[in-house]
Structure 1
């Protein structure tokens, strides 16, 4: 039931957070010479005006498809790692989260590649005259036919560099916050505290790894239309810094942080409601410290 609740909660998080993710990707990969958007809110307005509200949900099929697998991997690995480590400490929370983040990259990387390509498709067009990809699955199939396994795993190294510490920071932050806030089973503010802790932990995790995410998005968007701009991770970093300065690593950060909190709120609220109806209130989470083992975090998307 925890797994089912996690999937439903994660789906709610995707629905709430995907528009912010689309804006983030557009801002991260837009041309510095001919920028289409002046900032986060202008990007939102432009997408809705030019591509309708549905433009904000381009590429949503990919995270929805990978959601169940990612949740299963993350919480299966994290739970088993905590049992192997034994004592529940902040250090062990970080280590278990990092292990979970590393292993789930097998699903996360191809999923985010398809999502990024779909989000960039038909930029500025209300109805695209020529679609390169029909949907997320078609996107991955076409990439595989052209480039093989290497192609659908484009950005794997940067995904690993982002996800491994990212999930570690998430679980560590969540553990520290829930311990600090404190709550009892009869605490009327227990759920708001869990939502707050989850949202803030997500924000902390994104801030800690965001520069890597910018490079990952650029590498995964590179090659759309058949033109490759970057030859490697180092080349992408070098070109980006040379042309846009070090502030390039904050592109899209506003929309990412705006997304992080509501995604966690939607995920935790949905999971709580599902578990309450399925098991009864008295069988829900007994205390804050146990919650990380039983309550799904946001799908990341970026896994996170």
Structure 2
């Protein structure tokens, strides 16, 4: 049970830290190659803040906040329980447990990210005062999509989400296990928190580097249909059109902001989860807090 609770608390920390970077990533992935609004990651940050205020960086945060309770509960709950079923704590078992967790959480992750993407694209390049909102919030966005397209519309991008999440979470937990074991992240270690932060941050980066091309296609498919105009007929068509127009470098669009986001988000998530679990087990955290 505590695996689920710890995952929820860690998810809150991760979303608050990382959502601005995610907004920039999506804007860069989706922008037109013929008439780009942004020259790069930092220009995108500056443009959003200047045109839409700092709150523009947090567009669509309602969707991950709505879903994080379930998603992180599923991820850390399934991963923890799968590890107990597998028995021995090895990096290979960590990969398998992570892949299982990533697969199951797609049920919630896919519609959550669909709403997040549509909300993040709303009002792109418009002054805050002149922006006309189609969606009032993430839930309203999903309701609009459901009324027009039904359940298939809510799960637009599900296949690419699975392609991203299954190996992504496997790599995520495998990297964290290898690094934390190598660094000796034991409860008695007074430097455990910095080691946890480093291990979690690097695990996040490794996971994204492996799965980023699938994320680009997922974002494009989920943004497709805005304004009721569909550009792609399938995953393969999206890949073909993207490569033909922009070359293979299209699969690195927004990667800088993603890597910048991955370290602090996953450092915060893993450290928070570990500390919550330690507290639940009744372990004394005061030496760690004082030292840190």
1:276 CA displacement? 6.6
Gaps of 5+ in 2: 287-292
CA distance in 2, matches of 1:88, 1:280: 22
**Superimposed CA distance per residue, residues 148-203 of structure 1 (whole angstroms, 9 cap, x where no aligned partner):** 01000000000000000000000111111111111332211111111100100110
Name whichever of 74-83 and 174-183 sits farther off: 74-83
CA distance in 2, matches of 1:279, 1:95: 25
1:83 CA displacement? 2.1
- For residue 79 of structure 2, give the secondary structure of its aligned residue in structure 1: helix
TM-score normalized with structure 2 length = 0.93
**Superimposed CA distance per residue, residues 248-290 of structure 1 (whole angstroms, 9 cap, x where no aligned partner):** 0000000000000111232244445656766654279xxxxxx
CA distance in 2, matches of 1:111, 1:159: 11
CA distance in 2, matches of 1:49, 1:196: 33
Q: Which residue of 2 aligns with 1:257?
A: 259
Give the total of aligned pairs: 285
Name whichever of 187-196 and 82-91 sits farther off: 82-91
CA distance in 2, matches of 1:184, 1:7: 23
Is it true that 1:48 corresponds to 2:49 in the alignment?
A: yes
RMSD (Å) for aligned C-alpha atoms: 1.9
CA distance in 1, matches of 2:31, 2:88: 46
CA distance in 1, matches of 2:271, 2:172: 18
1:75 CA displacement? 1.9
Is it true that 1:161 corresponds to 2:163 in the alignment?
A: yes
Gaps of 5+ in 1: 285-304
CA distance in 2, matches of 1:5, 1:33: 45
CA distance in 2, matches of 1:28, 1:212: 12
Is it true that 1:13 corresponds to 2:14 in the alignment?
A: yes
CA distance in 2, matches of 1:200, 1:28: 23
**Superimposed CA distance per residue, residues 71-120 of structure 1 (whole angstroms, 9 cap, x where no aligned partner):** 12112221222222222221111111101100100000000000000000
1:124-139 to 2 correspondences below 5 Å: 124-125=125-126, 126-139=128-141
